[in-house]
Amino acid sequence: MSSEYGQNPKLSYNKYLKVSELIKLQETLSEPTSHDELLFIVIHQTYELWFKQILHEIDATIGWLGEGRVFRANHSLKVVIEIEKILIDQIHILETMAPIGFLEFRDKLNPASGFQSMQFRELEFVSGAKDEKLLEFFADDEFSTEHLQRRFDSPSLADVFWSLIGKRGYPVGTEEERIAAIVKILEKTEKNPEIYILQDLLIEHDKNISLWRYHHVLMVERMLGSKRGTGGSEGVGYLKTTLSKRLFPEIWEARTHLEIDGIDEFDPSTLCPHVPE
């Protein structure tokens, strides 16, 4: 035990983490209280806390990449990816809710919806998927509009990534050039190891957001069938249209253009970083 133990008797676990305040933040709306409403609130609040941490890591990543500190940036992206795995899994806790139990309190939520999650939109914007139309849905929410407008106007992860690739000598002015740059990086895995790992972490981040979308839409269909969403959309039909969204489309597309024949100096030991010689 640390010798400092007990030196600051005024601080405690509960005080430091504001546990008494935290456990008062789950205010159910159903009357009489529906059993599953607490689970519904806890899950959503947990998502928002993890979104906060992810945004913190991505903001730092943007800073590191701007300074050319790829090793440090990669470390923060690994944190993002590990949190995202939890976010994908967490959806399944909600699937334990009986659809009829959800309907007990669903009407009370109207017109609130995950569609209005400011931090989820921040995550999309800061990653590179900026959609100005989404800002309109926050027009009567000054706090969210301010945050989202700032994200919209600031460089995204995709912006700093392509700027870094440009600084490393690859032309990146057009979509074709960006795809060609990634093809080059994929061809020679060990030529630019940090950059190779960086593009791998970015595609993993993109994949995780997509996986979350898939798990979310399936959970929603299991809960609601084709009922309309509380946010006013057609529900599952709308969510399915979001499944093809990509944060880094050029990194995905490069795989189409990668050919073993295109490599002039073929070196089998660099072909697959995961297979020992």
Closest CB to ligand HEM among residues 13, 143: 143
Closest CB to ligand HEM among residues 110, 269: 110
If phi > 0 it is left, if psi is from -120 to 50 it is alpha, else beta; for residue 275 that is beta
The reply on whether position 164 binds ligand HEM by CB under 6 A is no
The reply on whether position 54 binds ligand HEM by CB under 6 A is no
Candidates 20-28, 153-161, 230-238, 260-268: pick the segment binding ligand HEM (CB under 6 A).
Answer: 230-238
The reply on whether position 224 binds ligand HEM by CB under 6 A is yes
The reply on whether position 47 binds ligand HEM by CB under 6 A is yes
Please identify which residue in 115, 152, 214, 252 interacts with ligand HEM, judged by CB under 6 A. Answer: 115
The reply on whether position 102 binds ligand HEM by CB under 6 A is yes
The span from the CA of 187 to the CA of 259, in Å, is 8
Name the amino acid, one letter, at 239. L
Closest CB to ligand HEM among residues 7, 96: 96
- Answer whether 134's CB lies under 8 Å from 148's CB: yes
The span from the CA of 215 to the CA of 208, in Å, is 10
Please identify which residue in 65, 94, 201, 209 interacts with ligand HEM, judged by CB under 6 A. Answer: 94
- Residue matched to tokens 């009407």: 107
Burial class (CB in 10 A: 0-12, 13-18, 19+), 5: exposed
Closest CB to ligand HEM among residues 117, 163: 117
User: Taking the complex as a whole, how short is the minimal distance between the CB of residue 36 and ligand HEM, in angstroms?
Assistant: 9
Q: Within a 10 A sphere around the Cβ of 13, how many other Cβ atoms?
A: 7
**What interhelical angle do 193-224 and 249-257 show, nearest 10?**
110
- Answer whether 106's CB lies under 8 Å from 42's CB: no
The reply on whether position 229 binds ligand HEM by CB under 6 A is yes
Closest CB to ligand HEM among residues 228, 257: 228
The reply on whether position 235 binds ligand HEM by CB under 6 A is yes
User: Taking the complex as a whole, how short is the minimal distance between the CB of residue 115 and ligand HEM, in angstroms?
Assistant: 4
Closest CB to ligand HEM among residues 58, 185: 58
The span from the CA of 37 to the CA of 109, in Å, is 10
Please identify which residue in 239, 247, 251, 254 interacts with ligand HEM, judged by CB under 6 A. Answer: 239
Closest CB to ligand HEM among residues 80, 182: 80
- What are the contacts of 252-258 at 24+ separation with CB within 8 A? 252/203, 252/206, 253/179, 254/179, 254/180, 254/182, 254/183, 254/186, 255/186, 257/179, 257/180, 257/183, 258/183, 258/186, 258/187
The span from the CA of 133 to the CA of 263, in Å, is 43
Q: Give the Å distances, CA to CA, from 57 to 77, 119, 198.
A: 7, 13, 14
Please identify which residue in 233, 252, 258, 271 interacts with ligand HEM, judged by CB under 6 A. Answer: 233
Closest CB to ligand HEM among residues 164, 217: 217
Q: Which residues bind ligand HEM (CB under 6 A)?
A: 43-44, 47, 94, 102, 113-115, 117, 120, 216, 220, 223-224, 229-233, 235, 238-239, 242
